[in-house]
Amino acid sequence: MDTLNLLMGGFESALTPVNLLFAFAGVVLGTAVGVLPGIGPAMAVALLLPLTFGMETSSALIMFAGIYYGGMYGGSTTSILLNTPGESATVITAIEGHKMAKAGRASQALATAAIGSFVAGTIGTALLVTVTPIVVKFAVSLGAPSYFAIMVLSLVTVTAVLGSSKIRGFAALGLGLAIGLIGMDPVSGQKRLTFGFAPLIDGIDIVVVAVAIFAIGEALWIAAHLRRTPAHTIPVGTPWMGKEDWKRSWKPWLRGTAFGFPFGALPAGGAEVPTFLSYVTEKKLSKHPEEFGHGAIEGVAGPEAANNASAAGTLTPMLALGLPTNATAAVMLAFLTMKGIQPGPFLFENEPDLVWALIASLFIGNTLLLLINLPLAPLWAKLLKIPRPYLYAGILFFATLGAFSVNMQVADLWILLLIGLLGFALRRFGLPVLPLILGVIIGPMAEEQLRKTFQLSSGSASGIWSEPLAVGIYVLIAVLLLLPVLIRFIRRSRGVNTTVADQVLGEAPEQPKHKAGVAYEGRSDEERNDS
Amino acid sequence: MTIVVGYIPSEEGEVALSRAIEEAKQKNSRLIVVNSSKGDQLVDDRLIDAKQHHELEARLTQTGLDFWIQRQSQGIDAADQILQVAEAQRAELIVIGLRKRTAMGKFIMGSVAQRVLLQAGCPVLSLKAKNDW
């Protein structure tokens, strides 16, 4: 009941005209950036960070939440109509969705995606309301060693489990951690990695890093690949569904939600695994398995619901532990830190108004998204006709303005350009962007916990495993890292075709085929991770 | 002799194409159909796709004319493309479709037709989608 009261209080502050306006602006902007491939919610939030300096914290956060959810809706539109997933979470949607669109069922595909997203988003947010306070209660009792272990877990899983190439993932993570180290040592005051360059002493502002990696890096990449054979629009009417479509969609929606939320809520995060699992499940359970691969509506409904439920789930570790597990959540946390709010388990205690207004705005944003997406989907598709030079010129302008306005120093612009070049190199060599940005944000947080651990154990390394939970997590990390190696070893020793591993893993070996099917401009979907 | 026609799948484009076919039949000249996109948009309906290309080819074959379809998916600006082809072929006539643009619209979007009209070294026949009077 207590939670319900707090939630109602949240609705009260989220339903003020100003906040409603920001929620609306957020969902519109979010849908727009979701529709455009290559521009994701993370970039949009990073570009808007400087604009929020003068804004009320809750209003800005409500707008960001709208962008975050909106990006998920918009991404499905592009996936279905163009077969170019706007972001990694909608890669699976494209498989069946685009086939449906080609078969003249674009309206139904868009409708099941939008309504499924709404259902999953609403249930997911409701789960967020129930689960997060429990996690907070648990998190408050955590000591520094366990905290550090959880952070290591999230970094390792995001890097090693989600990406296609572990080496590339860890390389990106290493770069991120190195960037996070720049500046003054928080304990001893020593200068680290500043190379005698005065502006670096305060460290590189996270806004500059995020804007450089997402906006400048992507703009340079697009500039290098500006021309491509344009596609044709697939004619769509207003999305609608027949009785049969409803009947075939509602179960996948609920199953997708069940897959999505737990995966999002784990500190490992990521929408790729649940969307894939949902797709495979629907394929197995479907009464029309022959339709899969030729445009089965279940194959759109399930993954799309999983994707949105996981988006809601991701907010659990972000709000309860202060741990972001995707790029947008990372930038949103950076925003909270900039505003002088300490993210972590005490966020609910210290800033209840803010948190509950945010959660209430998620419900509102979700409803707004359904309202603007269902009738207006054909209109959103028109955004794809914007010539890219105009679009990216605008992005570069806002990126530069934003990076400069953080500290009003010219040095930041040079750093922006340098890290932007790094972002381009990442894309060029297929390194995932997500581990880098999480490294920059979680790195310093993890360092703080590690330092605390060592202070408590007076410098002895045994402090790291002084809590039972921490030990458990390290075992889990070891299992996660060793399991794929082990499975490969078992498979090799038993021969490829008749292994138990194949049966246990179900259809997992098929994964590369699907992903290759939707590879876009030579970039695999991992490389497009939340960019 | 050669006639060059700028073609996009739209009302104006169709009018220009059918007029160009007439002209080519009368003068017994070769017809070059130019269709191009800069490829800087993710979706561009002005570029003909494979199906439209085949239909166009079939239609031109029926006329019995000597023809050539120049389709550029990642080409230069449409005006430059038309002018380049016309110059290379020493065209006797360029046919283009023209649509109404407000002064503001022209200021923002520029005008392919205007550049072809002003820069072409041969007569340019420009057509409206339909007669207004």
Contact across the interface for B44 and A227, Cβ inside 8 Å: no
Q: How far apart are the first and last CA of chain A?
A: 40
Mean pLDDT along residues A105-125: 91
Can you give the pLDDT at residue A529?
42
Mean pLDDT along residues A387-391: 88
Can you give the pLDDT at residue A255?
92
A126-140, A236-250, A415-429, B95-109: least confident range:
B95-109
Contact across the interface for A227 and B40, Cβ inside 8 Å: yes
Q: Which residue of B has its CA nearest to A223?
A: B40
Q: Is the pLDDT of residue A517 over 90?
A: no
Check if the beta carbon of residue A31 is closer than 8 Å to that of residue A73: yes
A116-141 per-position pLDDT tens digit = 999 999 999 999 999 998 888 888 88
- Rounded to whole angstroms, the Cα distance separating A97 from A117 reads 14
* pLDDT band at residue A523 using 50, 70 and 90 as cut-offs: very low
- Where exactly are the structural domains of chain A? 2-530
pTM metric for this prediction: 0.83
Can you give the pLDDT at residue A363?
93
> How many Cβ atoms are within 10 Å of B44's Cβ, its own excluded?
20
Can you give the pLDDT at residue B110?
67
Three-class SS of residue B35? strand
A26-40, A122-136, A207-221, A265-279: least confident range:
A265-279
Can you give the pLDDT at residue A5?
86
Check if the beta carbon of residue A90 is closer than 8 Å to that of residue A33: no
Check if the beta carbon of residue B56 is closer than 8 Å to that of residue B9: no
- Rounded to whole angstroms, the Cα distance separating A93 from A75 reads 9
> How many Cβ atoms are within 10 Å of A146's Cβ, its own excluded?
21
Chain B residues within 8 A of A385 when measuring between CB atoms: 41-45
Q: Is the pLDDT of residue A241 over 70?
A: yes
Output the average pLDDT for chain A. 84
A258-296 per-position pLDDT tens digit = 998 988 888 766 777 888 889 888 888 888 888 888 888
Mean pLDDT along residues A300-323: 90
Check if the beta carbon of residue A211 is closer than 8 Å to that of residue A417: no
- Rounded to whole angstroms, the Cα distance separating A365 from A312 reads 12
Chain B residues within 8 A of A223 when measuring between CB atoms: none
Q: In this structure, which amino acid lies at residue A309?
A: A
Alpha-carbon torsion (A101, A106, A110, A112), positive or negative: negative
Q: CB of B61 within 8 Å of any CB in chain A?
A: no
Highest mean pLDDT among A32-46, A419-433, B38-52 belongs to A419-433
Measured torsion, CA atoms of residues A143, A148, A154, A160, in degrees rounded to the nearest 10: -140
Check if the beta carbon of residue A101 is closer than 8 Å to that of residue A109: yes
Interface test with B, best of A83, A227, A520 (most B CBs within 10 A): A227
- Rounded to whole angstroms, the Cα distance separating B82 from B91 reads 10
Q: Kindly report the nearest CA distance between residue B25 and chain A, in angstroms.
A: 32
Q: CB of B55 within 8 Å of any CB in chain A?
A: no
Check if the beta carbon of residue A152 is closer than 8 Å to that of residue A477: yes
Q: CB of B109 within 8 Å of any CB in chain A?
A: no
Cα A198 to chain centroid distance, Å, stands at 34
- Rounded to whole angstroms, the Cα distance separating A309 from A187 reads 40
Contact across the interface for B43 and A233, Cβ inside 8 Å: yes
More confident residue, A125 or A373: A125
Contact across the interface for B40 and A389, Cβ inside 8 Å: yes
Three-class SS of residue A303? helix
> How many Cβ atoms are within 10 Å of A202's Cβ, its own excluded?
13
> Nearest CA to A363 among A8, A126, A131?
A126
Length, in residues, of chain B = 133
Q: Kindly report the nearest CA distance between residue B72 and chain A, in angstroms.
A: 9
Mean pLDDT along residues A16-35: 92
Can you give the pLDDT at residue A322?
87
Check if the beta carbon of residue A441 is closer than 8 Å to that of residue A234: no
Q: CB of B39 within 8 Å of any CB in chain A?
A: yes
Q: How far is CA A188 from CA A192, A203, A204, A458, B90, in A?
A: 11, 15, 19, 15, 78
Mean pLDDT along residues B99-126: 83
* Non-local CB neighbours of A308 within 8 Å, separated by 6+ positions: A69, A72, A73, A116, A117, A118, A120, A121, A124, A257, A260
- Rounded to whole angstroms, the Cα distance separating A195 from A197 reads 5
Contact across the interface for A385 and B43, Cβ inside 8 Å: yes
> Nearest CA to A131 among A304, A315, A289, A290?
A315
Q: CB of B81 within 8 Å of any CB in chain A?
A: no
A85-89, A484-488, A504-508: least confident range:
A504-508
* Non-local CB neighbours of A18 within 8 Å, separated by 6+ positions: A56, A59
Check if the beta carbon of residue A412 is closer than 8 Å to that of residue A406: yes
CB–CB contacts below 8 A, A to B: 54
User: Which DSSP state fits A523?
Assistant: B
DSSP string, A148-171: HHHHHHHHHIIIIISSS-HHHHHH
Q: Dihedrals φ, ψ of A287, to 5°?
A: -80, -10
Structure token pair of residue A117: 């997203």
- Rounded to whole angstroms, the Cα distance separating A479 from A409 reads 46
Mean pLDDT along residues A88-114: 86
- Rounded to whole angstroms, the Cα distance separating A175 from A440 reads 8
Structure token pair of residue A49: 């960070």
Task: Count Cα atoms within 13 angstroms, Cβ side, for A68.
Answer: 28
- Rounded to whole angstroms, the Cα distance separating A58 from A22 reads 10
Q: Is the pLDDT of residue A178 over 50?
A: yes
Contact across the interface for A230 and B47, Cβ inside 8 Å: yes
Structure token pair of residue A269: 């995060």
Can you give the pLDDT at residue A511?
39
Contact across the interface for B42 and A84, Cβ inside 8 Å: yes
Structure token pair of residue A163: 């990406």
Mean pLDDT along residues A30-56: 87
Could you identify the residue written with the tokens 């197995």? A284
Buried/exposed code over A35-61 (b: 16+ C-beta within 10 A; e: otherwise)? bbbbbbbbbbbbbbbbebeeeebbbbb
- Rounded to whole angstroms, the Cα distance separating A450 from A152 reads 11
Can you give the pLDDT at residue A415?
93
Can you give the pLDDT at residue A87?
67
Measured torsion, CA atoms of residues A89, A393, A213, A51, in degrees rounded to the nearest 10: -90
Q: Kindly report the nearest CA distance between residue B10 and chain A, in angstroms.
A: 14
Q: Is the pLDDT of residue A84 over 80?
A: no
Three-class SS of residue B123? coil
Can you give the pLDDT at residue A337?
85
Could you identify the residue written with the tokens 């359970």? A285
Can you give the pLDDT at residue A348?
86
Chain A residues within 8 A of B74 when measuring between CB atoms: 227-229
DSSP string, A324-392: --SHHHHHHHHHHHHTT---STTHHHH-HHHHHHHHHHHHHHHHHHHHHHTTTHHHHHGGGGS-HHHHH
* Non-local CB neighbours of A382 within 8 Å, separated by 6+ positions: none
Q: Kindly report the nearest CA distance between residue B49 and chain A, in angstroms.
A: 8
Chain A residues within 8 A of B47 when measuring between CB atoms: 229-230, 232
Query: Measured at the alpha carbon of residue A194, what is the angle toward residues A188 and A199, in degrees to the nearest 5?
Result: 105
